[in-house]
Chain A
Amino acid sequence: MADLSIDFAGIKSPNPFWLASAPPANTGDQVMRAFDVGWGGAVWKTLGNPIVNVSSRFWANDYGSTRMMGLNNIELITDRPLDVNLREMREVKRRYPKHTLIASLMVDTKEEWREIIKKVEDVGVDGLELNFGCPHGMCERGMGSAVGAEPKVLQEIAGWAVDCARTPVIIKLTPNVGDIVEPGEAVERSGAHAISLINTVKSIMAVDLDRMVPLPRVGGASTNGGYCGPAVKPIALHMLGELTRHPKVSRLPISGIGGISTWRDAAEFIALGATSVQVCTAVMHYGYRIVEDMLEGLSDYLDSQGMRSIEELRGRAVQNYAHWGDLDLSYRVVADIDPVKCIGCQLCYVACMDGAHQCIHLPGRTEEQSRKAGHTHIPAQVPDIVALGKGAPAGVRVPFVDEEECIGCNLCALVCPVSGCISMKELPSGKPPETWNDRVQRGDDVVPGGLDATAAARAERGRA
Chain B
Amino acid sequence: MSDVSDAMKGAVAGTAAKGRDGAPFLVAALSPGRTEERYEDKHPRYTEAEAVTEANRCLYCVDAPCIKACPTEIDIPTFIHKISTGNVRGAARTILTANLLGQSCGQVCPVEVLCAGSCVYNTWDRDPIRIGRLQRYAVETALEKNPALFQKKAPTGKRIACIGAGPASLAVAGWLALEGHRAVIFERKPLPGGLNTLGVAPYKMKADESLGEIEWLLSLGDIELRHGVSVAAEARGPHEIAARSLLEEYDAVFLGLGLGDDSQLNIPGEEGEGVVGAVAFVERLKVDPALAVEGVRRAAVIGGGNTALDVAHELALLGVDVSLIYRRGRAAMTGYAHELDSARVDGARLVEDRAPVEVLREDGRVVGVRLARTEGGRPVAGGEEVLPVDLVAVSIGQSRATQVALAFEGVALDGRGRLLVDEATGRTGNPRVWSGGDCVNGGDLVVTAVADGKRAARSIHAALVDATSPAGA
Contact = CB atoms under 8 A, between A and B. Distances in A.
Contacts of B87: 262-263, 293, 296-297, 300
A421 B48 CA distance: 11
Nearest to B84: A262
A179 interface: no
Contacts of B52: 419
26 contacts: A263-B85, A263-B87, A286-B60, A292-B78, A293-B78, A293-B82, A293-B85, A293-B87, A293-B90, A296-B82, A296-B87, A296-B90, A297-B82, A297-B85, A297-B86, A297-B87, A300-B87, A300-B89, A300-B90, A341-B49, A390-B44, A417-B53, A418-B49, A419-B52, A420-B47, A420-B48
B400 interface: no
Interface residues of A, number: 19
A155 B59 CA distance: 45
Interface in B38-71: 44, 47-49, 52-53, 60, 62
Nearest first, the 8 closest Cβ-Cβ pairs linking A and B are: A297-B87, A296-B90, A262-B85, A419-B49, A300-B89, A293-B82, A418-B49, A420-B49
B114 to A, nearest CB: 23
Contacts of B48: 419-420
A287 interface: yes
A289 interface: yes
B145 to A, nearest CB: 9
B81 interface: yes
B93 interface: yes
Interface string B73-110: 00000100110011101100100000000000000000
B62 A287 contact: yes
A297 B49 contact: no
A406 interface: no
Contacts of A290: 81
B93 A296 contact: yes
Given A296-B93, A418-B49, 16 more contacts: A263-B85, A286-B81, A287-B62, A289-B78, A293-B85, A293-B87, A296-B89, A296-B90, A297-B82, A297-B85, A300-B89, A300-B90, A390-B44, A417-B53, A419-B49, A421-B49
Interface string B205-233: 00000000000000000000000000000
A297 B90 contact: yes
Interface string A290-314: 1011001100100000000000000
Nearest to A390: B44
Nearest to B83: A293
Nearest to A295: B90
Interface of B: 44, 47-49, 52-53, 60, 62, 78, 81-82, 85-87, 89-90, 93
B82 A264 contact: no
Contacts of A292: 78, 90
Contacts of B49: 341, 418-421
Candidate in A290, A300, A418 with the most chain B CB atoms within 10 angstroms: A300
Contacts of B60: 286
B85 A264 contact: yes
Candidate in B49, B52, B60 with the most chain A CB atoms within 10 angstroms: B49
Interface of A: 262-264, 286-287, 289-290, 292-293, 296-297, 300, 341, 390, 417-421
Nearest to A298: B87
A244 to B, nearest CB: 24
A300 B93 CA distance: 11
A287 B77 CA distance: 13
B86 A264 contact: yes
A203 B86 CA distance: 31
A262 B56 CA distance: 13
Candidate in B48, B62, B82 with the most chain A CB atoms within 10 angstroms: B82
Nearest to B60: A286
Nearest to A292: B78
A48 to B, nearest CB: 33
Nearest to B62: A287
Nearest to A299: B90
Nearest to B86: A264
Nearest to A65: B57
A418 to B, nearest CB: 5
Nearest to A261: B85
Contacts of B85: 262-264, 293, 297
A419 B86 CA distance: 12
A262 B60 CA distance: 14
A32 B44 CA distance: 44
Contacts of A418: 49, 53
A400 B82 CA distance: 35
A290 B93 CA distance: 15
B168 to A, nearest CB: 29
Contacts of A421: 49
Nearest to A285: B60
A264 B83 CA distance: 12
A329 to B, nearest CB: 33
B431 to A, nearest CB: 36
Nearest to A1: B151
Nearest to B48: A420
Contacts of A286: 60, 81
Contacts of B90: 292-293, 296-297, 300
A293 B81 contact: yes
B363 to A, nearest CB: 46
Contacts of B47: 341, 420
A263 B91 CA distance: 13
Contacts of A417: 53
Contacts of A297: 82, 85-87, 90
Contacts of B62: 287
A419 B90 CA distance: 21
B381 to A, nearest CB: 51
Contacts of B81: 286, 290, 293
A300 B146 CA distance: 11
Candidate in A290, A293, A341, A417 with the most chain B CB atoms within 10 angstroms: A293
A156 to B, nearest CB: 43
Contacts of A293: 78, 81-82, 85, 87, 90
Nearest to A417: B53
B346 to A, nearest CB: 17
A225 B366 CA distance: 82
A262 B52 CA distance: 14
Contacts of A300: 87, 89-90
A300 B82 CA distance: 12
Contacts of B93: 296
A418 B53 CA distance: 8
A123 B417 CA distance: 67
